[in-house]
């Protein structure tokens, strides 16, 4: 299979795209046309970071796991990030707080420690 994909990159990409579209249709009930309409409506970029590049994998249809509504289309990094933060607003707020004020804590700890 690897050899075939290497020798037929265009056909392999088309097959991958068809499989992705079938999975979206089966899992989420979203047709390729509906996905394109959603993606176009958000400017053909990630709904969070606004990158026009999907990253390592294709675009991700982000959805609320409890209520099953669609929030937007995300790049691989943003989709993974939300998952790692367990889709938790509290966890994300804590991360923002941490990113906003870490230097003062580290400097104070280094200043107070014996050298």
Using CA atoms, how far apart are residues 57 and 74, in angstroms rounded to an integer? Answer: 11
The pLDDT tens digits for 91-106 are 999 999 988 886 666 6
24 within 8 A of 36, measured Cβ to Cβ: no
pLDDT higher than 80, residue 79: yes
The ranges assigned to domains in the chain are 2-84, 88-115
* pLDDT tens-digit readout, 6-46: 999 999 989 989 999 999 999 889 999 999 999 999 999 99
From residue 20, give the alpha-carbon distance in Å to each of 8, 49, 93: 18, 23, 33
Instruction: Tell me the two tokens of residue 25.
Output: 């249709």
Q: What is the pLDDT of residues 52-77, one digit of tens each?
A: 999 887 899 998 877 778 999 999 99
pLDDT at 112: 66
- HSE (CB half, 13 Å, CA atoms) of 5? 7
The CATH code that applies to domain 2-84 is 3.40.1800
């Amino acid at each position: 299979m690897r050899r075939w994909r290497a020798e037929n990159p265009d056909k392999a990409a088309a097959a991958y795209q068809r499989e992705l579209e079938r999975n979206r249709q089966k899992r989420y009930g979203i047709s390729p046309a509906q996905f394109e309409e959603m993606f176009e409506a958000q400017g053909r970029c990630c709904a969070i970071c606004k990158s026009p590049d999907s990253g390592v994998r294709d675009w991700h249809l982000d959805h609320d796991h409890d209520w099953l509504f669609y929030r937007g289309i995300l790049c691989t990094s943003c989709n993974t990030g939300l998952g790692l933060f367990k889709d938790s607003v509290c966890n994300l707020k804590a991360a923002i707080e941490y990113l906003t004020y870490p230097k003062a804590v580290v400097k104070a700890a280094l200043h107070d420690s014996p050298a």
